[in-house]
């Protein structure tokens, strides 16, 4: 079976800036894959090449076996991309927009049942005859997701699809996208909400400065990098030197320590007692995908929903 997406040695330079530095990645058909990284890591550049909007400086990408440069039409027909930006045609209502979009890819009236399914799945049925200009921001976001799905592509790329949207939309969208994935659609997700990636995606690739720095199943990444977090409210204090190496974050008198071993709890607490630092509050939490992200990428550009 051909991979849904095959990326081989992709480089991309913009003048003196190297946005991508030899990216290799294979995404199998039917996967729910997360592509993560801070702003400037190269995710958007990679998606732009995948969509055929820009050409790589070196290397190649194929969708279901079709090269995105040399076989652009075939590759693009197999791909649905939900962009970050709210870009829409202001002259049509939602249903007209979806039918036109499907028509661009050669889909005719026989596709109307699929359009109805998309409208229902994304909670747009009651807005089907409303002009795009009159929709709220959240409804426009739903309509753009629907637009990317209108031609029933087997490979779907969701680029920050839930940024700035309400919880209701997020839940409804994910239920529909999970259904598509169960039916065999390949889903590629970029998101700053790492708990979404942890919950939804079976495999994760993390990018930093144009390179993939981690690629594994979600479970393996969590087992390999994540331990526990000890969160202590201490106030404005100077930590003993021997536990500063464990400190992950410090904010408003709250200190978060990354622990790989439960015995480190006593090390931290005994060191604080010896320094006569009083613990005002204490929490012990399981580390999550955000902690893996921080370990590998070293910046905090993620959000909690």
Per-residue pLDDT tens over the stretch 44-92: 999 999 999 999 999 999 999 999 999 999 999 999 998 766 666 777 8
**Is CATH 3.30.70 the right assignment for the domain spanning 227-287?**
yes
The whole-number average pLDDT for the span 192-199 is: 80
Concatenating the DSSP letter of every residue in the chain gives ---SEEEEEEEEEETTEEEEEEEEEEE-TT-EEEEE--TTSSHHHHHHHHTTSS--SEEEEEETTEETTTTHHHHHHTEEEE-SS----TTSBHHHHHHHHHHHTT--GGGHHHHHHHHHHTT-GGGTTSBGGGS-HHHHHHHHHHHHHTT--SEEEEESTTTT--HHHHHHHHHHHHHHHHTT-EEEEE-SBHHHHHHH-SEEEEEETTEEEEEEEHHHHHHHH--EEEEEE--S----GGGGGGEEEEETTEEEEEESSTHHHHHHHHHHHHTTPPP-EEEEEE--HHHHHHHHH-----B--
Do 5-222 and 227-287 have matching folds? no
Model confidence at 300: pLDDT above 90 = no
Q: Which of 76, 161, 87, 73 is nearest to 122 (CA)?
A: 161
Q: What are phi and psi of 41, to 5 degrees?
A: -75, -20
Mean pLDDT of 7-31: 95
pLDDT > 70 in the chain, percent = 90
Where are the domains positioned within the chain? 5-222, 227-287
- pLDDT one-digit tens code per residue, 197-221: 888 899 999 898 999 988 888 877 7
303 confidence band (pLDDT: 50, 70, 90):
very low
pLDDT at 170: 82
Share of the chain above pLDDT 90, in %: 50
Compute the average pLDDT of residues 263-267.
88
Under the banding of pLDDT at 50, 70 and 90, the label for residue 9 is very high
Are 153 and 77 spatial neighbours (Cβ–Cβ below 8 Å)?
Answer: yes
* Class (C level, CATH) for 5-222: alpha beta
So what's the pLDDT on residue 41?
87
């Amino acid at each position: 079976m051909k991979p849904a997406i095959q990326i081989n040695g992709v480089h991309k330079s913009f003048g003196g800036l190297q946005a991508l530095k030899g990216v290799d990645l294979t995404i199998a058909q039917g996967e729910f894959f997360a592509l993560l990284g801070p702003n400037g890591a190269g995710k958007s550049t990679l998606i732009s090449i995948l969509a055929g909007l820009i050409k790589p400086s070196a290397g190649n990408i194929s969708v279901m076996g079709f090269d995105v440069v040399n076989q652009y039409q075939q590759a693009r027909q197999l791909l649905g991309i939900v962009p970050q930006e709210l870009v829409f045609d202001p002259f049509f209502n939602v249903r007209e927009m979806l039918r036109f979009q499907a028509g661009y890819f050669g889909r005719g009236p026989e596709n109307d049942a699929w359009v109805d399914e998309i409208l229902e799945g994304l909670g747009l049925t009651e807005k089907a005859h409303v002009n795009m200009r009159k929709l709220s921001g959240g409804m426009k976001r739903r309509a753009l997701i629907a637009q990317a799905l209108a031609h029933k592509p087997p490979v779907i790329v969701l680029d920050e699809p839930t940024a700035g949207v309400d919880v209701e939309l997020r839940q409804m969208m994910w239920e529909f996208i999970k259904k598509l994935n169960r039916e065999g659609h390949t889903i590629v997700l970029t998101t700053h909400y790492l708990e979404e990636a942890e919950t939804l995606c079976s495999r994760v690739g993390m990018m930093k400065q144009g390179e993939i720095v981690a690629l594994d199943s979600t479970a393996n990444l969590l087992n390999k990098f994540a331990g526990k977090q000890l969160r202590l409210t201490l106030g404005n204090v100077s930590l003993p030197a021997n536990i500063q190496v464990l400190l992950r974050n410090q904010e408003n008198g709250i200190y978060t320590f990354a622990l790989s071993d439960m015995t480190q709890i006593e090390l931290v607490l005994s060191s604080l007692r010896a320094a006569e630092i009083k613990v005002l509050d204490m929490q012990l939490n399981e580390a999550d995908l955000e902690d893996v992200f921080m370990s590998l990428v070293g910046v905090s550009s993620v959000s909690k929903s």
